[in-house]
């Protein structure tokens, strides 16, 4: 029998990017909050600039819960699912935000209204066949105050492009209107980034520095970015990367109303006969616990959110918690970040220092920022050029058709070219489809014997068409900047396991097609909230973290304002 703990107002499963932000408005409102986290606390001394440990050994000292639960994947239901590669996320207080790239974008207004805007401008027939995409239940304006709040609470640097409708051409002219500029100026650029920005200008495009949850200067008592080059999959040794474990979580702990249990491995949620959740079962070591709560917030990564719902069955929910409409796991998609384009330049880029979030963005070819009349797709991609290079990865670069990648000939090549290659990052509109989904794998389990998630998903014609279109734009940009060789990745097929996984517990008005309501609370279990990108129904062409954090803050604020209604 699990040990029964004292009841609490709110238990949050997962102290990552979303859950770690939601704790603050709850704790500040005086609610008793328990945060359950599978990982442990990490601090600056855990974050040595060490490429082997960060990028080749996947932080061997970490709690490996997510690794044990990593999903299987397949392109379609006609093929077998395999477990390929590791889990890209990590378990820790702060979650993957401890070592993420920290690009902190707001979605553009179009991303909230893909269906109605496409129908209005081009006709409803332009929505790709079999796509289950819906408009969000609200528009950009509804989320703006929460974007604004989170940008200030955690600290986001960037260059505003639209403050209250006034365009600033140094920023993104396509962004939705914001109440205020960013709380910090954008991260600085390097000479190569200036070169790329100049090339974009000469093509008639509109380059701007991207937003990042990274201090460009001293902020909230923490240092500015050190630009030391080990930011990709690296924690920050000067605490300039604004993970919740440095920002919202300490502030919530200061209220005295938050208690965090680390190394807590949540196995199921518990429900009563009326369909309300009553608490959470978890394991620490070999000890089992039951944490009763008036409200449960599920704030794991997309795969684990869906998995916990499907694993939690009762008489009220025979197919899994909040799944009586069969929507858990549906409308799944992961961002098309592949189809990369890389270029070789005839000069050193001096890219050894910097970080992935330091760069030049082009939004001219994203969303509906250009006329799609002559195209066979909707949406587009954000082009991103950054300064990021480390020695092992540099020495492992493509030889761009100049011979084999080892031996004396290679040594001559790498001596000349180690600092002359660049790989772009292109995030593309990705839609949900009828036959892309998550469910429980029929055979593969974690170390507790519980099934892992199975991903069945592939990019469709719309995503591949965007990939080809944006590859063309990217090559154009590189060539304009003087690239002498350009190589491209494939256009994409199987989605596989991703750091940008969306859907599975989609948010919307209609319980027939959505798991959670417009406040991210379950349509079926009223005291269950779900946080994270699993509630998002569209991807936009930019990183999801800030949006999931703004949504988490909004859900927490809703819970505070409607405590009696929701907690029952």
Partner 1 sequence: MGHGMTKNPRKKSHPSDGSEQTASKITRRDLLKAAGAAGAAALIPTSLKGASSAASPILDGAMRGSAAMPPGAPLMNLTARETEILAAMVDRLIPSDELGIGALEADALGYIDRTLSELGPDSVESYRTGLAALDRYSEYTRGARFIELSERDQDSALIDVQTGGASGAGVGFVGSSGSFFNMVKSHTWQGTFGDPHYGGNREFAGWDLIDYPGVRMRVTEEDQEQLEAEELEPERRSAYELAMFRTGRPR
Partner 2 sequence: MRARRPIYLCAALLAVGSVMELSAQTPSTFIVESPTMRTGEMMPRKYSPDGPNLSPPLTWRGLPAETRQIAVICQDHGAGNPPPWVHWIIYNIPGNAMGLPEGIPFESTDPMPREITGATHGNNGWGLSMYRGPAPPRNSVHHYHFAVFALNTELDLPPGLTRNELLEAIDGHIIGEGHMMPIYERQPADQDTIPNNSIHGSWND
Sites of contact with partner 2 (CB under 8 A): 399, 401-404, 408-409
Strands (DSSP E) found in 28-173: 33-36, 72-74, 162-163, 166-167
- Please state, in angstroms and rounded to a whole number, the distance separating the CA atoms of residues 550 and 107: 11
CB of 406 to partner 2, least distance (A): 12
Pick one of partner 1, partner 2, none as the site partner of residue 416 (Cβ within 5 to 8 A by kind). partner 1
Pick one of partner 1, partner 2, none as the site partner of residue 402 (Cβ within 5 to 8 A by kind). partner 2
- Is 84 an interacting residue with respect to partner 1 (CB under 8 A)? no
- Is 401 an interacting residue with respect to partner 1 (CB under 8 A)? no
- Please state, in angstroms and rounded to a whole number, the distance separating the CA atoms of residues 406 and 412: 10
Instruction: Write the CB contacts of 79 (distance below 8 Å, at least 6 apart in sequence).
Output: none
Q: Which stretch binds partner 1 (CB under 8 A): 119-127, 287-295, 333-341, 413-421?
A: 413-421
- Is 510 an interacting residue with respect to partner 1 (CB under 8 A)? no
The H or E element spanning position 287 is strand 287-298
CB of 401 to partner 2, least distance (A): 5
Coil/strand/helix, residue 114 = helix
φ, ψ of residue 219 in degrees (nearest 5): -150, 130
- Is 226 an interacting residue with respect to partner 1 (CB under 8 A)? yes
Instruction: Write the CB contacts of 406 (distance below 8 Å, at least 6 apart in sequence).
Output: none
- Please state, in angstroms and rounded to a whole number, the distance separating the CA atoms of residues 117 and 110: 7
Q: Which is nearer to partner 2, 40 or 402 (CB)?
A: 402
Pick one of partner 2, partner 1, none as the site partner of residue 562 (Cβ within 5 to 8 A by kind). none
Q: Which is nearer to partner 1, 222 or 228 (CB)?
A: 228
Pick one of partner 2, partner 1, none as the site partner of residue 546 (Cβ within 5 to 8 A by kind). none
- Is 170 an interacting residue with respect to partner 1 (CB under 8 A)? yes
> Token pair 């979650």 is at which residue?
95
CB of 170 to partner 1, least distance (A): 4
- Please state, in angstroms and rounded to a whole number, the distance separating the CA atoms of residues 415 and 426: 28
- Is 235 an interacting residue with respect to partner 1 (CB under 8 A)? no
Q: Which of 189, 282, 377, 459 binds partner 1 (CB under 8 A)?
A: 189
CB of 339 to partner 1, least distance (A): 23
Q: Which is nearer to partner 1, 164 or 374 (CB)?
A: 164
DSSP alpha helix (H) spans, 136-213? 140-150, 191-202
CB of 418 to partner 2, least distance (A): 19
Pick one of partner 2, partner 1, none as the site partner of residue 394 (Cβ within 5 to 8 A by kind). partner 1
- Please state, in angstroms and rounded to a whole number, the distance separating the CA atoms of residues 342 and 483: 10
Coil/strand/helix, residue 308 = helix
Instruction: Give the tokens for residue 313.
Output: 């069955």
Strands 437-445 and 33-36: unpaired
CB of 350 to partner 1, least distance (A): 5
- Please state, in angstroms and rounded to a whole number, the distance separating the CA atoms of residues 63 and 332: 27
Q: Which of 19, 183, 209, 338 binds partner 1 (CB under 8 A)?
A: 209
CB of 438 closer than 8 Å to CB of 395: no
- Is 447 an interacting residue with respect to partner 1 (CB under 8 A)? no
Angstrom distances, CA of residue 17 to CA of 248, 299, 301, 391, 552: 10, 9, 9, 30, 9
Instruction: Give the tokens for residue 481.
Output: 């900047």
Angstrom distances, CA of residue 258 to CA of 246, 460, 526: 15, 44, 23
Instruction: Give the tokens for residue 222.
Output: 């923490």
Pick one of partner 1, partner 2, none as the site partner of residue 61 (Cβ within 5 to 8 A by kind). partner 1
Handedness of CA 492, 497, 499, 504 (dihedral sign): positive
Instruction: Give the tokens for residue 4.
Output: 């029964």
Q: Which of 201, 218, 250, 347 binds partner 1 (CB under 8 A)?
A: 347
Q: Which is nearer to partner 2, 40 or 405 (CB)?
A: 405
Pick one of partner 2, partner 1, none as the site partner of residue 553 (Cβ within 5 to 8 A by kind). none
Pick one of partner 1, partner 2, none as the site partner of residue 403 (Cβ within 5 to 8 A by kind). partner 2
Q: Which is nearer to partner 1, 132 or 387 (CB)?
A: 387
CB of 528 to partner 1, least distance (A): 37
Q: Which of 148, 367, 419, 441 binds partner 1 (CB under 8 A)?
A: 419
Coil/strand/helix, residue 542 = coil
CB of 485 to partner 2, least distance (A): 10
Residues that bind partner 1 (CB under 8 A): 44-46, 48-53, 56, 60-61, 157, 159, 168, 170-171, 185-192, 194-195, 209, 216, 226-229, 237-238, 346-348, 350, 352-354, 391-392, 394-396, 404-408, 411-412, 414-416, 418-419, 482, 484
């Amino acid at each position: 029998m699990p040990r029964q703990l004292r009841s609490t107002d709110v238990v949050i499963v997962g102290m990552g990017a979303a859950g770690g932000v939601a704790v603050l408005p709850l704790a500040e409102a005086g609610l008793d909050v328990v945060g359950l986290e599978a990982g442990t606390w990490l601090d600056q001394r855990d974050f040595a600039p060490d490429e082997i440990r960060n990028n080749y050994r996947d932080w061997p000292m970490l709690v490996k819960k997510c690794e044990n639960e990593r999903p299987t994947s397949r392109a379609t239901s006609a093929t077998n699912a395999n477990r390929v590669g590791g889990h890209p996320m990590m378990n820790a207080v702060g979650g993957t935000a401890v070592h993420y790239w920290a690009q902190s974008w707001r979605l553009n207004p179009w991303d909230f209204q893909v269906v109605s805007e496409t129908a209005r401008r081009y006709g409803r027939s332009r929505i790709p066949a079999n796509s289950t995409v819906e408009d969000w239940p609200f528009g950009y304006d509804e989320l703006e105050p929460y974007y604004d709040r989170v940008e200030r609470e955690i600290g986001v640097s960037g260059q505003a492009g639209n403050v209250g409708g006034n365009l600033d051409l140094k920023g993104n002219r396509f962004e939705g209107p914001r109440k205020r500029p960013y709380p910090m100026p954008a991260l600085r650029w390097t000479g190569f980034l200036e070169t790329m920005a100049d090339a974009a200008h000469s093509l008639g495009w509109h380059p701007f520095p991207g937003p990042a949850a990274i201090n460009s200067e001293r902020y909230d008592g923490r240092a500015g970015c050190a630009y030391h080059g080990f930011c990709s999959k690296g924690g920050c040794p000067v605490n300039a990367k604004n993970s919740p474990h440095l920002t919202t979580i300490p502030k919530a702990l200061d209220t005295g109303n938050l208690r965090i249990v680390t190394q807590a491995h949540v196995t199921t949620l518990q429900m009563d006969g009326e369909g309300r959740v009553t608490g959470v079962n978890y394991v620490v070591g070999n000890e089992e616990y039951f944490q009763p709560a008036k409200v449960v917030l599920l704030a794991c990564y997309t795969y684990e959110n869906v998995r916990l719902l499907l694993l939690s069955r009762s008489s009220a929910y025979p197919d899994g918690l909040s799944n009586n409409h069969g929507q858990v796991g549906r409308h799944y998609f992961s961002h098309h970040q592949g189809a990369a384009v890389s270029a070789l330049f005839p000069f050193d880029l001096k890219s050894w220092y910097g970080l992935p979030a330091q760069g030049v963005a082009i939004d001219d070819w994203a969303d509906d920022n250009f006329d799609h009349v002559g195209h066979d797709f909707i949406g587009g991609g954000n082009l991103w050029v950054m300064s990021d290079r480390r020695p092992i990865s540099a020495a492992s670069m493509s030889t761009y058709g100049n011979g084999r990648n080892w031996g004396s000939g290679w040594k001559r090549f790498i001596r000349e070219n180690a600092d002359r290659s660049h790989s772009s990052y292109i995030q593309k509109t990705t839609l949900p489809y009828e036959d892309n989904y998550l469910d429980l794998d029929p055979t593969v389990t974690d170390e507790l014997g519980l099934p892992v998630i199975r991903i069945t998903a592939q990019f469709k014609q719309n995503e591949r068409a965007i990939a080809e279109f944006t590859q063309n734009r990217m090559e154009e940009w590189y060539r304009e900047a003087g690239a002498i060789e350009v190589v491209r990745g494939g256009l994409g097929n199987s989605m596989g396991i991703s750091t940008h996984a969306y859907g599975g517990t989609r948010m919307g008005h209609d319980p027939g097609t959505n798991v959670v309501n417009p406040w991210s609370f379950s349509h079926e279990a009223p005291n269950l909230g779900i946080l994270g990108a699993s509630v998002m129904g569209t991807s936009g062409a930019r990183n999801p973290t800030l949006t999931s954090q703004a949504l988490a803050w909004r859900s927490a604020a809703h819970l505070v304002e409607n405590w009696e209604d929701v907690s029952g």
